[in-house]
Chains A and B, each alone.
Chain A
Amino acid sequence: MANNLTAFLSELGEVGLLTRDFARLFLRRPFEPRLLLEQLDNVGVKSFTVVNLTAVFSAMVVALQTGTLLGKFGAKIYVSRIIGLSLFREMGPVLTALMIGGRVGAGITAELGAMSVSEQIDAMRALGANPVKKLVVPRVVATMIMLPALTLIADGFGIFGGMLISITQLGLSANFFLSSLMQMTRLSDVFGGILKAVVFGYIIAIIACVKGLGASGGAGGVGSATTSTVVATSVTILVTDFFLTKLLLTI
């Protein structure tokens, strides 16, 4: 127990130190647009399918479950409002973040971990280059940009999935579904979800980088670090989501 607490606090300290270095180097010239573009492609474009499939099917399940339940009380007409609110505020940012944490976070840790154990990170430092500037900054920035973008697109796909079920299974019309959705959805719901996605993006990338740069002990060490990233990002996203939701509901 004491060892786990020490390890947790030590990793928290490393996240703090890397955050400090990230903030210090984020705006330092030269900017490296090529490295950022590579990461934008890796984080965003390559995650497009998996994120949107998750959004579509999750929203379809919500539509089926809530529609069936609400139908018993003659309240099916509220399905679109429930789907809209749950997608924009929670499911969109959280599910997208969990998928990106699994796909991109694990990938970042595996890549940086392999570089660490094969002396590539040390070689970079020995050549007078800063690994935080070269490796961490592009990955963190790209994840903070692409996670909100993917969340917005996933929201759209989720709405489409929910609407499909509402029309085919619940007997609602597309017009009714969309107008009801528009009436109940406030811009602050969408922005709240986007804000969450930016924070989640930072959490995923910084944890993945800390675990990757700290990997040691060959292939086994890289494997443990990668697993640990998926667990740590998932738990941190869910815990942070609670506090962000509480904060957003009060303002």
Chain B
Amino acid sequence: MNSGRPGPPFFSIRGLEKSFSGKPVLKGVTLDVEEGETLVVLGASGVGKTVLLRHLNGLLHPDRGEVWVRGVRLNDLDEDRMAEVRKNVGMVFQLGGLFDSLTVYENVAFPLREHTAWSEREISERVNEMLAAVELEGSQKLYPAELSGGMRKRAALARTLALKPSAVLYDEPTAALDPLATRKINLLIRGLQKRLGFTSVVVTHDLKSAFVVGDRFALLDDGKVSFLGNREAVRRAGDGLMREFVDAAQ
């Protein structure tokens, strides 16, 4: 993926600390995500993976430390300027986050109506293109409540990709899905990432899914990154939590 001399990282996290109600969750996370790669953040439930992810598009603000996106320091941005960053950094939520009062078509059209002055025909073309990319043709008129868990995740992915962002953040993309739907989502994430070339950060506790979609892997433990490496490094991990993860997955 990162052949030749790497350019500046897409995401750069420096000494990130975050507490909730006095309880520290992140205790100094430092991590770079290179342009075009898929970094998977692994860790046990409740360790702060989602908290880390939500700092990358400014949904949460650091108590200490810095978050940079393509050279822009998010700490300094107000909500209006953050919106500009978010157009370029999409996010797929664990529960999908689809607007349940809108149809699938209107959900995918939402960011286009919000950020472009496109005609209805142009919007329709892009929505249909995105729904085809996630294999949801024919679902335009359905409401989120009428979709299965896997379909909801795919519709959310289509909505996230509608503006063709440069990076996509995935929060537990396969949580609560059956094995077939999990496989489908993983292949979809990998396929779209290869085809469209965007940078991805995937948060999961599922190592099998991580191996399908990821280029590099970070393990979050006790509020810090305790392991960082590629697939081979994960397999060769000696003692420690990453080894336990690998063994448990097998």
* Chain A residues at the B interface, C-beta cutoff of 8 Å: 114-115, 118-120, 122-130
Bound form: Cα–Cα A122–B95 in Å:
11
Minimal Cβ-Cβ distance residue in A for B96 = A119
Instruction: Show 29 residue pairs from A and B whose CB-CB distance is below 8 angstroms, ordered by the A residue.
Output: A118-B100, A119-B94, A119-B95, A119-B96, A120-B97, A120-B98, A120-B99, A120-B100, A122-B54, A123-B93, A123-B97, A123-B99, A124-B99, A125-B59, A125-B79, A125-B86, A126-B57, A126-B86, A126-B90, A126-B93, A127-B110, A127-B111, A127-B159, A128-B83, A128-B111, A128-B115, A129-B83, A129-B114, A130-B79
Other A-B contacts than A118-B100, A122-B54, 14 sampled, CB-CB below 8 A, are A114-B100, A118-B97, A119-B95, A122-B97, A125-B86, A126-B86, A126-B91, A126-B97, A127-B86, A127-B111, A127-B160, A128-B111, A129-B83, A130-B80
Q: How far is the CA of A31 from the CA of B87 in the complex (A)?
A: 21
Measured in the bound complex, the distance between the Cα atoms of B95 and A114 in whole Å is: 13
Q: Across the interface, do B110 and A129 meet the contact criterion of CB distance under 8 Å?
A: yes
B79, B97, B99, most chain A CB atoms within 10 A: B97
Interface residues of B in 169-185 (CB under 8 A from A): none
A23 to chain B, nearest CB (A): 15
Q: Are B114 and A128 in contact (CB under 8 A)?
A: yes
Shortest C-beta distance, A114 to chain B (Å), equals 8
CB pair B114 A119 closer than 8 Å: no
CA distance A232 to B87 in the complex (A): 37
Q: Which B residues are CB-close (under 8 A) to A127?
A: 86, 90, 110-111, 114, 159-160
Most B Cβ at <10 Å: residue of A120, A127, A129: A127
Instruction: Check A122 against B59 for contact (C-beta < 8 Å).
Output: yes
Contact A128 B96 (CB under 8 A): no
B84 at the interface (CB under 8 A from A): yes
Where the two chains meet, the residues of B that have a C-beta atom closer than 8 Å to any C-beta of A are 54, 57, 59, 79-80, 83-84, 86-87, 90-91, 93-100, 110-111, 114-115, 156, 159-160
Docked CA distance A200–B93 (Å): 37
Task: Give the number of residue pairs across the A-B interface with Cβ within 8 Å.
Answer: 56
Name the residue on A nearest B86 (C-beta): A128
| Closest residue of A by beta carbon distance from B114 | A129
Query: Inside 8 A of A126's CB, which chain B residues have their CB?
Result: 57, 59, 86, 90-91, 93, 97
Distance, CA A115 to CA B114, complexed state (A): 19
Q: Which residues of B contact A124 (CB under 8 A)?
A: 99
Which of A119, A124, A128 has the largest number of chain B CB atoms within 10 A?
A: A128
Measured between beta carbons, the chain A residues less than 8 angstroms from B115 are 128
Q: Is B79 a contact of A123 with CB atoms below 8 Å?
A: no
Cα–Cα, bound, A128→B116 (Å): 12
With A127-B110, A128-B111, A128-B115 as known contacts, state yes or no: A122 contacts B86, CB within 8 Å.
no
Bound: A130/B111 CA distance, A: 12
Closest to A28 in B: B80
Q: How far is the CA of A119 from the CA of B93 in the complex (A)?
A: 7
Q: How far is the CA of A123 from the CA of B86 in the complex (A)?
A: 11
**Chain B residue at minimum C-beta to C-beta distance from A129:** B114
Given the complex of chains A and B, what is the CA–CA distance between A195 and B99 in angstroms? Answer: 36
A94 to B54, CA, bound (A): 43
Q: Is the CB of A128 within 8 A of B87?
A: yes
Query: Min CB distance, B163 to chain A, in Å?
Result: 8
